[in-house]
Amino acid sequence: MDDMTGNSHSGTRAIKRAIIDIGSNTVRLVIYNGPPRAPVVILNEKVTAKLGRELGETGRLADKAVETALGALARFAKMLTLSGVNSVECVATAAARDAANGPEFLAAVRDLGLEPRLLTGEQEAMASATGVIAAFPGAKGTVGDLGGGSLELVGVDGKAKPGGISLPYGTLRLPALRADGAERFAATVRDGLARAEWKSGKGKPLYIVGGSWRALALQAMRRIDWPLDDPHGFVISAEAALRTCRALEKGKIDDPDPRISSSRLATLPDAAALLGQLIERIQPSTVVFSSWGLREGLLFAQLDPETQALDPMLAGVEAFVAGSLVEPAHARKVADWVAPLFALEGQEALHLGATMLALSAMRSEPNMRTEQAMAWALRKRWVGLDAHGRAVMAMTVIANSGITEVPPEFDRLASREDLDAAIGWGLALRLCRRLTACTDEALAQTAVRREGGRIVLLLEPAMEALYANAMAKDMRRLSEWLGLEWDVKVAEGV
Q: What length does the chain have?
A: 494
Q: What are phi and psi of 157, to 5 degrees?
A: -150, 65
Rounded to whole angstroms, the Cα distance separating 141 from 122 reads 17
Listed as ranges, residues in the chain with pLDDT below 50 are 1-10
Q: At 270, which amino acid appears?
A: D
Q: What is the per-residue pLDDT for 8?
A: 39
Residues of the chain with CATH 3.30.420.150: 122-296
Cα three-residue angle 217-223-229, rounded to 5 degrees? 50
Domain at 312-490, CATH from 3.40.50.10860, 3.30.413.10, 1.10.3210.10, 3.90.1530.30: 1.10.3210.10
Residue 194 CB-half CA count within 13 A? 6
Q: Does the predicted TM-score (pTM) go above 0.85?
A: yes
* Other Cβ atoms within 10 Å of 405 Cβ, number: 9
Rounded to whole angstroms, the Cα distance separating 457 from 450 reads 9
Helices of type H across 209-261: 211-223, 238-248
Contact 46, 24 (CB under 8 A): no
Query: Which residue(s) pair with 156 in the sheet?
Result: 141, 160
Rounded to whole angstroms, the Cα distance separating 134 from 145 reads 15
Query: Which residue(s) pair with 447 in the sheet?
Result: 458
Rounded to whole angstroms, the Cα distance separating 313 from 350 reads 8
Rounded to whole angstroms, the Cα distance separating 30 from 380 reads 19
The radius of gyration of the chain from alpha carbons, rounded to an integer in Å, stands at: 26
Nearest to 96 by CA among 75, 138, 122, 65: 65
3-state helix, strand, coil in the chain (%, to 5): 50, 15, 35
Rounded to whole angstroms, the Cα distance separating 306 from 212 reads 34
Helices of type H across 445-486: 469-482
**What are the Cα distances from residue 29, in Å, to 21, 23, 367?**
7, 11, 39
Rounded to whole angstroms, the Cα distance separating 10 from 428 reads 30
Q: What is the per-residue pLDDT for 325?
A: 87
Residues of the chain with CATH 1.10.3210.10: 312-490
Q: Are strands 140-146 and 17-22 parallel, antiparallel or unpaired?
A: unpaired
Rounded to whole angstroms, the Cα distance separating 129 from 492 reads 55
Q: Are strands 17-22 and 87-92 parallel, antiparallel or unpaired?
A: parallel
Residues of the chain with CATH 3.30.420.40: 9-118
Q: Domain 9-118, what architecture?
A: 2-Layer Sandwich (3.30)
Q: Which CATH code is given to the segment(s) 122-296?
A: 3.30.420.150
Rounded to whole angstroms, the Cα distance separating 150 from 127 reads 14
**What are the Cα distances from residue 166, in Å, to 145, 173, 474?**
9, 14, 59
Nearest to 69 by CA among 88, 89, 37, 93: 93
Q: Are strands 17-22 and 27-33 parallel, antiparallel or unpaired?
A: antiparallel
Q: What is the per-residue pLDDT for 27?
A: 98
Residue 320 CB-half CA count within 13 A? 25
Query: Which residue(s) pair with 31 in the sheet?
Result: 18, 43
Nearest to 60 by CA among 6, 126, 105, 18: 105
Nearest to 450 by CA among 399, 473, 484, 489: 484
Q: What is the per-residue pLDDT for 4?
A: 33
Contact 245, 321 (CB under 8 A): no
Q: What is the per-residue pLDDT for 402?
A: 95
Which residues, including other chains, have CB under 8 Å from residue 271's CB and lie 6 or more apart?
146, 171, 174, 210, 212, 213, 215, 216
**Surface-to-core class of residue 110, CB atoms within 10 Å of its CB (0-12 exposed, 13-18 middle, 19+ buried):** exposed
DSSP conformation letters of 106-129 = HHHHHHTT--EEEPPHHHHHHHHH
DSSP conformation letters of 317-332 = HHHHHGGGT--HHHHH
Contact 356, 331 (CB under 8 A): yes
